[in-house]
Amino acid sequence: MSVTSNALLRHITIDACLRDTAHKYSLADLIAACTKAVKENSKVKLKDNFTVSTRTVQLDLQFMRDKKKGYNAPIIVYEQKYYRYKDPNYSIGNANVKQTNLAPLSEIAETIGRYSRMAGMESLEGAERMIRSVIENKVSGSAEKIELPACPKTSGGHYLDIAKDAIIHRKVLSLSYYTENSPIPKEIIFYPMYLKPYMGRWYLMGYEEGKDKISHITMDCVNSYSYAILPFPPNYTFDAQSYFADIVGISHPSDQKEDITIRVKNTLAQYLMLNPIHRSQKLMGKDEESNYTFKLSIIPNNEFYRWLYSHHPCVTVISPARIAERAVEKMQQIVADIIAAEPQPAIQKAKKEKDSPSKSKKRKREEPPQEDLFSALF
């Protein structure tokens, strides 16, 4: 690992410590955390007695505080011993990137560029171009020439590092998060196992206390967290490859895998040929109207039915009939939920005016003209 990569790794590690308000981190604690991070991420085996020096961590703290070269981080020392951010919501991940912080990113772009020139890896050229575009925009301050894919910062985004650390070190989390149907946060004990992005959101997979199957938490719904002083059960495991093998998205119902045949109109079929909905997708044929038939071997879940709804009427379920009926029920429920969410007075008023347009017009004609009392003033 290069020196610049080590520095960035230490800054990220220190940042995670200072944002953890459940613990008090002294200089010795920060040194231990940085040492552990460097050892775990080093490409070469380091000596057992390797430690990050005290001066290195002190310079890291000084650099992070620096307004011009660093992150302008509001690091304070309380009780003359422990380090913390003055603003508990601060993170260097939200700070403006300075030119001095871009060296590790330049190294990544250079490495990707070398690989992109190898046979079979030409597609990496796009990643290199995007990274160099970001660097150029930050250094020169010029306007972007290419719009890069958006990566929105959700309200729970700053908990990702906490979740990663809890997964790696098997820490039990006490989470407060909002569910879809309640404005009051729900309090749970959660044993985190895996993080997965899907459709622009991060999901934390693991075991919720009191449940014997894998659950998932939407990270942008997390309100607050703390560490629960509980042992992490050694029998809790998670095989991501097996869990996601037969589903679309996140949720894993207890149903059996089924062969589902769908008919897709030509406009969408061309997209699915390049971007399959699932790895089991197979092209079965094409009819005279240029409709394509695909077969999927999946466990139908909520995400699959939402996909069907979002692409209606370009997609039709051919078989099994039960899945087609279930898809129709789901679509009807989605439409009903949308209608229920509309302001009722406005709907009733519009319906009333639609039912009796002649009366509405008649009332308008019968109303006497209003005299403008202020016309003489102008």
State yes or no: pLDDT of 3 exceeds 60. Answer: no
What mean pLDDT is predicted for residues 36-53? Answer: 83
User: Which of 47-56, 141-150, 239-248 shows the lowest per-residue confidence on average (mean pLDDT)?
Assistant: 141-150
What mean pLDDT is predicted for residues 248-268? Answer: 89
Structure tokens at 120: 């079979």
Contact 167, 193 (CB under 8 A): yes
Contact 293, 318 (CB under 8 A): yes
User: How does residue 77 score in pLDDT terms, banded at 50, 70 and 90?
Assistant: very high
Of the spans 4-18, 124-138, 324-338, 355-369, which averages the highest pLDDT?
4-18
Phi, psi of 75 (to 5 degrees): -85, 130
CATH for the 157-244 domain, from 3.90.550, 2.60.40, 2.30.30, 2.40.128: 2.30.30
Render pLDDT for 305-321 as a digit per residue (tens, 0 to 9): 888 888 888 888 888 88
Render pLDDT for 110-139 as a digit per residue (tens, 0 to 9): 777 777 666 556 666 667 777 777 666 655
User: Which of 65-74, 156-165, 291-300 shows the lowest per-residue confidence on average (mean pLDDT)?
Assistant: 156-165
Question: What's the pLDDT score for residue 202?
Answer: 86
What mean pLDDT is predicted for residues 264-279? Answer: 86
HEC profile for the chain? CCHHHHHHHHHHHHHHHHHCCCCCEEHHHHHHHHHHHHHHHCCCCCCCCCCCCHHHHHHHHHHHHCCCCCCCCCEEEECCCEEEECCCCCCHHHCCCCHHHCHHHHHHHHHHHHHHCCCCCCCHHHHHHHHHHHHHHHHHCCCCCCCCCCCCCCCCHHHHHHHHHHHHCCCCEEEEECCCCCCCCEEEEEEEEEEEEECCEEEEEEEECCCCCEEEEEHHHEEEEEECCCCCCCCCCCCHHHHHCCCCCCCCCCCCCEEEEEEECHHHHHHHHHCCCCCCCEEEEECCCCCEEEEEEECCCHHHHHHHHHCCCCEEEEECHHHHHHHHHHHHHHHHHHHHHCCHHHHHHHHHHHHCHHHHHHHHHHCCCCCCCCHHHC
Tokens 């979740």 -> residue: 163
Topology of the domain comprising 3-101? Arc Repressor Mutant, subunit A (1.10.10)
CA distance 66 to 59: 10
Q: 135: which residues sit within 8 A by CB, 6+ positions away?
A: 102, 105, 106, 109
State yes or no: pLDDT of 211 exceeds 90. Answer: no
State yes or no: pLDDT of 19 exceeds 60. Answer: yes
What sign does the dihedral 153-159-165-168 (CA atoms) show?
Answer: negative
**Domains of the chain by residue range:** 3-101, 104-140, 157-244, 248-366
User: Which of 20-29, 147-156, 202-211 shows the lowest per-residue confidence on average (mean pLDDT)?
Assistant: 147-156
